[in-house]
Amino acid sequence: MAHDIRVGVVGTGYIAHTMVAAIGHVPGLRVVGICSASADRAGSVAKALGIATAFTGVDALLADPAVDMVYIANATAEHATVAIRALEAGKAVLGEKPFAIDSAEAQQVVAAARRTGVLFMEAVATPLLPAVHNALADVASGRLGAARQLSASFGYPTTPASHPGCYAAVGGGVLLDRAVYLVTLARLALGPVADVRAQITRDGNGVDTEAALLLTHANGATAQLTASLTAMLGNMMTIACERGAVTVAAPLLSAEKIAVETVGPPSRPTGASGMRDRVKARPLVRRLAGIARLRKTGFASFGASPYVPELLHFRDLYRAGAIESPVLPVDVSLDVMRILDAAREDRR
């Protein structure tokens, strides 16, 4: 039986706590250490979470041969630097999204991963959720025809007090914190992007808080994406194809429900339609038809935590000696950062 993969966690904030709890549900992964720049903070969090070792600073964690892989969960502005150092230290890296603050940093991380031949994956959990994975696979199968449009949103109200990292001058903003999920899904579902148009709203400090993106993909398909730090959005995704559509129900980032609607060849009714119209005029008939459509809804559980499928995937990659994920390749993560850069710079 394979030995446990020993995980060192960089960071002691909310996502670090969340991921330590999720790792506890994954056989074969075991958190052995956590680090912070503050010795007191590292010690108190390690004690609270039942972690054996508290490291003061990243260097101490990376120097420990008892650490096999690193989960990066510190400030966004530091993700790329820590990822490169960890890769160079021979530690597999699962780096919290966004894995860099722009495409220039992203290229440096990818170069380090390829140079060292060490496993690296950006921690965007959504594509690994069974419901989302199944939706993407259904579209990719071609049974609904070619995918033509994708629409998705992610947003709920926050404030600088409730979510200070989202409003950080470096590494903050709705593009890096929220649109990154949507762009990743669009890139996976529809392929490379040829054109990016964006409407961005910024607060008084210049931090992007609202984003509406229109992506035109190389195959002619389009993606309409909206993300917000200040408003409650639909938090769902629909991929429209030539012969139907797949919808991942809210909440998208912890989705478990999908619905598939199919249609036949395009046609226009001919001849008498009186009976059909009379039937459609009855509210009860319409209600029963709506209930019938619910039978096309499927449920795919993520288990104890929405992060468990991602962690299981990374565990299996590590055991197989892989250097990147076939579900979320590093080139896709790099493309996503380029798209976010283009959205940030769009002045049309």
As annotated, the active-site residues are 97
CA dihedral (329, 335, 340, 341) in degrees, to 10, reads: 140
> What is the enclosing helix (H) or strand (E) of 125?
none
Residue type (1 letter), 23: I
Contact call for residues 69 and 8 (beta carbons, < 8 A): yes
Cα dihedral 85, 91, 97, 101, rounded to 10, equals 10
Q: Take residue 317 and report the two structure tokens written for it.
A: 């990659």
Measured between alpha carbons, how far is 256 from 131 in angstroms, rounded to an integer? 5
Residue 150 near residue 216 (C-beta atoms within 8 A): no
Residue 249 is classified by DSSP as: P
Strand, coil or helix: what is 226? strand
Q: What is the DSSP string of 168-207?
A: -TTT-SHIIIIIHHHHHHHHHHH--EEEEEEEEEE-TTS-
φ, ψ at 35 (rounded to 5°):
-130, 155
CB 84 within 8 A of CB 106: no
Q: Is 245 helix (H, G, I), strand (E, B) or coil?
A: strand
Exposure letters 53-89 (e unless 16+ CB within 10 A, then b):
bbbbebebbbebeebbbbbbbbebbbbbbbbbbbbeb
Burial class (CB in 10 A: 0-12, 13-18, 19+), 178: buried
